[in-house]
Amino acid sequence: MSDNPYESPLEPAVEMRRAPRPSARTLHIAWAVVFAINVALPLLLGLPTANDSGRFGIVAAMVLALLAGFYVCANYRRLAQALVAGGALVGVSQLLPALQIFAGILGMAAAESLGLVIDGNDEVQVTITSAVAGLVVTTVTGGALITAAVALGLLLQVFTNESWWGYPLLKNSGENELLHVERDSSTIDASAPPIR
């Protein structure tokens, strides 16, 4: 029996259990795995359309996307969870690669509109002939796939039990804590304004 006179005698106090919040290290590893799974099909389809210079641009854009994902994992835990969970779904969608083909078409159209790719006749495929073209095609293609992954991950967070993600979806503190990583309280200066 509790000392609380307002506690219902018929219902015992229920302690809410939440899944442990993933560490930044866990998110980094998960992002690396999801990223590796998701680049397989785009590389298979994209590398044959590029010469050596174009391949350099493709690889450079991939490295930038990988590093951007690591930054998100280190600084925005909730967004990183959405990126990893949605990225896993996008990776599975490679079995029927409509999303990947559509994203590739967007990337090639963007580069073509900038005059960065050679639109060949019936005998020659569209060719990525420069590092800038490879960078543009891969950035637009990857950006479309990453956007789809984040959207799917956020939808998962909205429509699944919030305790699966380690914390409630919305907090009532009035501050924007939805996406930013909570830091160790021993390293935070209490007089500093909150990070926005």
Sign of the Cα torsion 179, 143, 165, 19 reads negative
Does residue 182 sit within a domain?
no
Does residue 190 sit within a domain?
no
Sign of the Cα torsion 66, 69, 75, 80 reads negative
Residue burial 129-162, b: 16+ Cβ < 10 Å; e: rest: bbbbbbbbbbbbbbbbbbebbbebbbebbeeeee
Cross-strand pairs, 118: 127
Provide the residue range defining the domain that includes 151: 24-162
Does residue 47 sit within a domain?
yes
Report field, pTM of the whole predicted structure over 0.85: no
Check: CB of residue 18 under 8 Å from CB of residue 161.
no
Does residue 176 sit within a domain?
no
Does residue 178 sit within a domain?
no
Question: Cα separation of 24 and 30, whole Å?
Answer: 10
Task: Look at the chain and report how many structural domains it folds into.
Answer: 1
Confidence (pLDDT) at 168 = 54
Does residue 81 sit within a domain?
yes
**Ordered per-residue pLDDT tens for the chain, 196 residues:** 567 777 666 655 555 555 677 888 999 999 999 999 999 888 887 888 888 899 999 999 999 999 999 999 999 998 999 999 999 999 999 999 999 999 989 998 999 899 888 766 555 566 888 999 999 999 999 999 999 999 999 999 888 877 777 755 444 444 444 444 444 444 445 555 555 5
Does residue 173 sit within a domain?
no
Find the Cα–Cα–Cα–Cα dihedral 162, 166, 172, 178, rounded to 10°: -100
